[in-house]
Amino acid sequence: MIEAVVINPFYLNPERFPMRPVKSLRNSESIEEHDKNNHYVCDIPAMPMRVAMLAYSLRPRGGIVHAFRLSEALARKGVDVEMFSLRRRGSTEDQTRFFGNISVKTNIFEFTWSEDSSSRLRSMTEAFVSGLPRDFDIYHAQDCVCDTALQLLANEGSIKRPTVRTVHHVQGFQDPFIDRCEMDALMGPTEKITVSKYWKDELESKYGLDSNVVYNGIDAGKYLNSKSERGNFILFVGGMEARKGLEFAIEALEVLISHGLDMKLVAVARPGFLRTESREWFEHLIERCNLKGKVEIEELVAEQELIALYSSASAFVLPTRMEGWGLALMEAMAAGCPVVSTPVGGVPELISNGKNGILVPVGDVAGTANAIERIIKEPALREQLCEEARMTIGKFTWDAAASQTKKIYERILSGKPRC
């Protein structure tokens, strides 16, 4: 099937979509006026748009998981998606593929690792700039590294504007070079998508930037849990960076044990992008809290093992200082694991305090411990939280996120402004 549509030729690859000028769209408009306004007819065959999805890592971080799942959902809707990411050159530690099996084509470029953040970011950016094909219809970045690379390519005319950026959150980095990279990329002429209304409002009020909200989704079926018995441990899933608040989870465990509860903490956590966090720092905290043997830190686990942990934990805790949305919270909720978190970022759009989870102020260790203790000791509360959580999770799917994202792509390709 071939459809003739009026379109701005700037947005399409002329080799894939040959265009011809039209005589008129309005009776009062001349051919010259149409040429001046760039109105053309494009015979678009029944072929999918091509999308390059970019993420800076192979690890199961929030933005990477988002890119991974969104790409698969877009592919189910007929979009030709390829994922592009990075790994450290010569590293035996890093994976050679994404953290899970993925059904779309993947491309991995290598960069040179450096302790110096400016050298590292330059190498990462250059890897994308030199490796990315130039013939995609849409380029979609998930972070400031990918965003910077796309803007460099657009500035030199190698790819068409606007590129797309999903802003998961805006983080003030202590490293001045990374902070400048984040701000420069954020303020660039890209089509912005945010993962919560909170961050849409933040971009508008603080930076004067418009954006579309596309919530994260979840494949809830894979987390379905029939277990009635729970293990005597609480679960944390997130990075070791200060933003995630792992130290508060450790200190809350100390309080729980002082109250006579025989509990452990399992933390699935590894250093963040800066790699300034160390396992040794947390081990020192564990020793200072007299929790040796009570805290288990796993830097990386397989997806099925993670699902088993969600399904067995007495409670999930994410005492985060700032969050874009909280994919790990969604995973725990889908697995029937009651959640305790903080009312920051997009979290309150997902969790209603006392209804489908419990929210405590950031840094309130006693409050976090009390919330976990209530979940363990009050079966009725636990059942209510889990039931409401399952109902909440049913509202968020990757197919819905893909449908919204695809509409944004189509609007960009049509040349229409945001409504």
Instruction: Write out pLDDT tens, residues 228-245.
Output: 678 999 999 998 988 999
**CA quadruple 38, 40, 43, 46: dihedral positive or negative?**
positive
| Number of domains forming the structure of the chain | 3
Position 122 pLDDT exceeds 70: yes
Confidence bin at 217 (pLDDT 50/70/90): very high
User: What is the SS3 assignment for 255?
Assistant: helix
Same domain, 346 and 278: yes
> Phi then psi for 164, rounded to 5 degrees?
-115, 140
In a domain, 166, yes or no: yes
> Phi then psi for 223, rounded to 5 degrees?
-105, 0
Same domain, 66 and 41: no
Position 117 pLDDT exceeds 80: yes
pLDDT score at 24: 44
Same domain, 88 and 200: yes
Same domain, 254 and 236: yes
Same domain, 69 and 16: no
In a domain, 28, yes or no: yes
Same domain, 210 and 225: no
What is the pLDDT averaged over residues 110-121? 91
Confidence bin at 260 (pLDDT 50/70/90): very high
The answer to whether 408 and 164 have CB atoms below 8 angstroms apart is yes
What is the pLDDT averaged over residues 90-102? 63
Task: Give the range of the structural domain holding residue 140, as residue numbers without chain letter.
Answer: 50-217+398-414
Same domain, 301 and 359: yes
The tokens of 352 are what?
A: 């209603």
Confidence bin at 1 (pLDDT 50/70/90): very low
Same domain, 292 and 374: yes
Q: What pTM was computed for the model? A: 0.84
The answer to whether 50 and 73 have CB atoms below 8 angstroms apart is no
Which CATH number is 154's domain given? 3.40.50.2000
Which distant-in-sequence residues (6+ apart) come within 8 Å of 367 by Cβ?
360, 361
pLDDT score at 92: 61
pLDDT score at 214: 98
In a domain, 419, yes or no: no
Peptide bond into 162 cis (omega under 30): yes
177 or 385, which is more confident: 385
Give residue-wise pLDDT tens across range 3-39: 444 444 444 555 555 555 544 444 444 444 444 555 5
Same domain, 101 and 232: no
